Structure 1
Amino acid sequence: MSFQLLKLILGPLLRLLFRPRVEGAGNIPGTGPVILAGNHLTFIDSMILPLVSGRRVFFIGKDEYVRGRGPKGRLMAWFFTAVGMIPVDRDGGHGGVAALLTGRRVLEEGRVFGIYPEGTRSPDGRLYRGRTGIARLTLMTGAPVVPFAMIGTDRVQPGGAGLPRLGRGRRIRVRFGRPLDFSRYDGMDRDRYVLRAITDEVMTEVMRLSGQEYVDMYATKAKTVRTAA
C-alpha cells in the first residue's frame, strides 16, 4: 500500500519534472522471479527504477538510510521502505553474504530484485567491471536477468549529492533489454569461470543499452586510485 501511494504521488511529479523516457519495460516478465541488473550513476537511480517499472522492485540499501532520527529520519525510512529497499549492513564482514541471501529470498518469493553489478556508483560516468554476485543469484534461483540502463541521471544529480537539477538537457531515459536466460549453466554456480562469463555477458548488454565506455576494473578500485591521485 505504501508503494502504491508513493507511486501515485511521485509518478506524476517525476513525469512533470524529468519527462523520463522508458523503453522496453515490456521486457520485464509480468510474473515470477526477475533480476533487474543495470548501471549506477547517481543516488536517484534507486528512486527512478521502482517508479518506472511495472512491478515493485526490491533492492539492497545501506541500513543507515532507515536508522535516522527525527521527522527527517522517519520520512527517509518510510520512503526507502516503500520503494522496496531492504536494509543490510554492507560494511560489515559478512555484508556480501547477507546481500546475496537477501536477494535469493526475494527471488524465491517470486518477486523482482534490482541490483547494480558494479557494486557502487560509477566515479566518472563510465561502466565498470561487474561483480559475480549477480551470476550466483541467477544460477541459484533460475531467475532471468533483465539488463537495464540509466541514462542522464548523472546530469540531473551530478556527484550523487544534493537536490536534483532541473532544466533543459537533463531528461532521464531508462532502457530495459530482453531477458537473459542462463539455464545452460545449471549446477555450475561454483565455477568461477562460469560466474565471470555470465557477469560479463550481463555487463555487455548494459553497455550496449547505456552507450557507456567500459572499463575492465572494479569501480571501488577506480575510486581508490582517484583518491590517491
Structure 2
Amino acid sequence: MTQRRRIPLGIRATANLFRPMMRVAISKEWRGLDTLPERGFIAVTNHVSELDPFAVGLAVVSSGTTPHFLAKDSLFRIPVVGAALSRLQQVPVARSDRQAANQSLEVAQSALDRGGAILIYPEGTLTRDPELWPMRAKTGAARLALTTGAPLIPFVHWGVQDVLAPYAKLPKLLPRKKYILQVGEPIDISDLRSMPLTRTVLAEATQRIEAALTEGVAQLRGEQPPEHIWDRALNQRVPRNQIRARGGDEVSP
C-alpha cells in the first residue's frame, strides 16, 4: 500500500464547512493522531451520536488522511446524493449481490492503496446499550481487515453525545461540551491473517475489535465497563467471551 496522498478538494471543502459548526458546539481534544500509519488503514470507532461521522471525519482529515465512509449502495443511486458520494470517494456497500460486493471491496482496496482511511462503525448502528457502551459488533470490519491486510486502528471518542444524544431531534449547544477522541494501538489480528476466512476466525477478530473499543471508551469515561456486552439481537447483555459466529450480519464487503 502506498503512502497518503493529498486530500481531495471536495473533502477538504466539506471539512472546512463543518469545522466552524463543530467548534461552536464542542471543545475538542484529539489524542494520538500523530501515531497513525502513513499507509492506508481501517478505522473502527464506537457509535454514540448521529454527529459521529462529522466529529471523527474531521479528526481524520486533520491528520492528513482522506476519510472514506461505508455507505449503502442504494444511496449511490439517488440523484445528486449519489454523485456527491462518488465525488467524495465514499465506499458503496452491497449486502446481497456477490458481484456488487466484490466491486465494493475493489473500491475499498483502491482507497486504501491511495493511503486513505476506511471508517467503519462495527456495531452497524448507534449503540443500543442503555449506558452507551459499545455493543456487540458485526463481522464486516474484521472481514475487510483480513481481506485487505490493512492495519486495524481503534478510534474511540466520547462527549459528542452530549451535544446530540442518540435519536434526539435537536442538539444542546449550551453550555459548550467537551469532546475527546483517542487513537489506540493497532488491533493485533496478525495470527488470524494466514487462516481461512471462516466464521470462527471472523468472530475472533470481531471480539478483539469489541474489546479494543470498550477498553478505549472506558479510559475516556474513567469508568469500568459492564461485565457483559449488549447484544442488539437479544436486547440484553451477554458474556463478552461468548464467541458467536452469526451469518448474514456483515456490514462491509
Band the TM-score falls in, shorter-chain normalisation: 0.7 to 0.9
Unaligned 5+ segments in structure 1 are 224-229
Q: TM-score normalised to the size of structure 2?
A: 0.71
Asked if the contact 1:44–1:160 (Cα under 8 Å) also holds between the matched residues in 2, the reply is no
Q: C-alpha offsets along residues 9-67 of structure 1, whole Å, 9 cap, x if unaligned?
A: 322332232122111112221x2120100111121111111111111110112356566
Q: Does 1:59 align with 2:69?
A: yes
- Aligned match for 2:124, one of 104, 119, 126: 119
Amino acid at match of 1:216: I
**Structure 2 matches for 1:1-229, cutoff 5 A?**
1-29=9-37, 31-53=38-60, 54=63, 55-62=65-72, 74=80, 85-88=90-93, 93-94=96-97, 97=101, 101=105, 102-123=107-128, 124=130, 125-168=132-175, 170-211=177-218, 213=226, 215-222=228-235
Quote the Cα distance in structure 1 between the aligned partners of 2:43 and 2:113: 15
Identical counterparts, % of pairs:
25
Deviation at 1:129, TM superposition (A): 1.2
Whole-Å separation in 1 of the counterparts to 2:191 and 2:135 = 26
CA deviation vs aligned residue, 1:132-175 (integer Å, no higher than 9, x gap): 22222222211111101121222211123434321226322211
Query: C-alpha deviations, 1:81-126, integer Å up to 9, x for none?
Result: 6765434465xx3499469625344334442101111111112312
How many corresponding residue pairs? Answer: 215
Give 2:11's aligned amino acid: F
Q: Can you give the 5+ residue segments of structure 2 that lack an aligned partner in the other structure?
A: 1-8, 219-224, 237-253
* 1:128 CA drift (Å): 0.9
